[in-house]
Amino acid sequence: MQEYVEKIAMCVAQGKVNKSSPFPPNMKGQDGADEIAAEALKNGVQPNVLLDGCMLGMDRIGKDFSENKAFVTNLIISAVAMNTVLKHIKPFLESGEVKRKGKFVIGTVSGDLHDIGKNLVSMIITGGGFEVIDLGVDVPTNKFLDTISKNQGCYIGLSALLTTTMSNMENSVAAIRQTYPDTKILIGGAPITQNFCTQIGADFYSPNAYEAVEYLNKSVAPA
């Protein structure tokens, strides 16, 4: 299993999408994220193992970027490689029960274009039995408010990946609180912490989607 974590991490970090992709030149002709993910699932490897590989690869390219050893183009191609793996995993993540437990509206906050984590959270929460309404990226507060008004009783999920967009998250939370005080707001994203969650008055923070599903399940059917 560990072998696949490392193989996927390498493809994601290096941006090796599939066998025919010419990038990176040192991996020309070798299998990429596409072939390796397909092979792993065929061999019975759990989708979570592939996700671990993706996260490890993203961490590596993120670290290189912060140390000026990689460029935005590298981040983009790594994101393409990771999305290729996610396409293989999607049917597993979304194969939850058909009856929906509630509505979960999610979006990346205003000014922020990162959507890989948000998409993953959407898939896992869909698999957890909720109907997910995905508003996309760079979502202005008004769009969240409009969507709540049309989907009373829904849960809200906000994602932010940049320290500079955390204040937009705070503004969205404040506006939602003011207009729809009973709406439960979940937040996440790499720079987000429990302290920040408490500080801005959101209801729940988790560093991953699985804990969010647990929270939603408890919230719809309190013990």
* Binding site residues, ligand B12, CB under 6 A: 58-59, 61-62, 65-66, 72, 75-76, 79, 111-118, 120-121, 157, 159, 161-164, 186-191, 206-209, 212
Q: How far is the CB of 51 from ligand B12 (least distance, A)?
A: 8
Q: How far apart are CA 65 and CA 201, in angstroms?
A: 32
Q: How far is the CB of 22 from ligand B12 (least distance, A)?
A: 20
CA distances from 111 to 4, 51, 154, 205 (A): 35, 27, 24, 20
Pick between residue 57 and residue 98 the one whose CB is nearest to ligand B12. Answer: 57
Q: How far is the CB of 64 from ligand B12 (least distance, A)?
A: 8
Pick between residue 16 and residue 114 the one whose CB is nearest to ligand B12. Answer: 114
DSSP H or E run through 9? helix 2-14
Given a contact cutoff of 8 angstroms between Cβ atoms, the answer to whether 132 and 159 are in contact is no
- Alpha carbons within 13 A on the beta-carbon side of 174: 8
Pick between residue 28 and residue 199 the one whose CB is nearest to ligand B12. Answer: 199
Q: How far is the CB of 29 from ligand B12 (least distance, A)?
A: 26
Pick between residue 7 and residue 118 the one whose CB is nearest to ligand B12. Answer: 118
From its phi and psi, is residue 110 left (phi > 0), alpha (psi between -120 and 50) or beta?
beta
Pick between residue 43 and residue 219 the one whose CB is nearest to ligand B12. Answer: 219
Given a contact cutoff of 8 angstroms between Cβ atoms, the answer to whether 186 and 202 are in contact is yes
Length of the chain equals: 223
Q: How far is the CB of 70 from ligand B12 (least distance, A)?
A: 9
